[in-house]
Copies of this chain bind each other. A is one copy, B any other.
Amino acid sequence: MFKTLNIDTEKEDRIINAATKVFAENGYKRASTNAIVKEAGISKGILFHYFKSKKELYLSLYEHLSDMFAEKIYDRIDMEERDIFEIIRQVSVIKFELFSTYPDLINFLNSVFHEIDPEVKNEVDKIRENLTGSSFSKLFSNIDAGKFRKGIDVGKAIQVIYWTFEGFANQQQAKASSMSVADIYKEDILAELDSYTELLKKSFYK
């Protein structure tokens, strides 16, 4: 399942959504297959017919959703863009939108990122390497270094920019966890994000 296109997409979707939600809310260990089948409206047996173990379900789901996530990003991003701020801004906007549309998806990917359960940690890391190794570098491979001021180590500057946007996203998400989803995607947030962009441009660019 997940790897090949399936006719019974509707049931597949129900499993994906249910598992995503339950894992996102509880982490690997606490998430119970009982909760997943209940949420998906399927029987215990069929879950283990598709996935031979909870672990396999978790890892398949991670791989599937990571792929899907990357795909959604690349679908909408302008690959000709060579300004790093513009690239990261586009990514941020897409992430925010995805979060509004599929909050569980993002929450699941975040929770996988920080999962420490030894039962899955190693495999998660292995999958992550395959994915991000390629995608991260692809995203930033095309940057126009000519825009940076002389004397600036461009590689490190990119890191600083990346960490800034990451930190900002985390900060927003921490705030968001106490809001309703409806309030999250706002002009205010983008405005604040842009003020960071401005600060860093003023500092790093010619």
Contact = CB atoms under 8 A, between A and B. Distances in A.
Given A26-B117, A30-B29, A114-B114, A195 B156 contact: yes
Interface in A154-170: 156-157, 159-160, 162-164, 166-168
Contacts of A172: none
Given A29-B30, A114-B114, A160 B202 contact: no
A115 B111 CA distance: 9
B159 A167 contact: yes
Contacts of A115: 27
Contact of A196 (B118, B160, B202): B160
Contacts of A117: 26-27, 30
Copies in the complex: 4
Nearest to A174: B125
Interface residues of A, dominant DSSP: helix
A202 to B, nearest CB: 7
Contact of A111 (B26, B116, B163): B116
A135 interface: no
Given A151-B202, A163-B163, A26 B156 contact: no
A1 interface: no
Given A152-B202, A166-B167, A203-B203, 17 more contacts: A25-B116, A27-B29, A27-B116, A30-B119, A111-B116, A151-B202, A153-B199, A156-B195, A157-B199, A159-B164, A159-B196, A160-B160, A160-B164, A160-B196, A160-B200, A163-B163, A163-B164
Closest 3 CB pairs of A and B: A163-B167, A114-B114, A203-B203
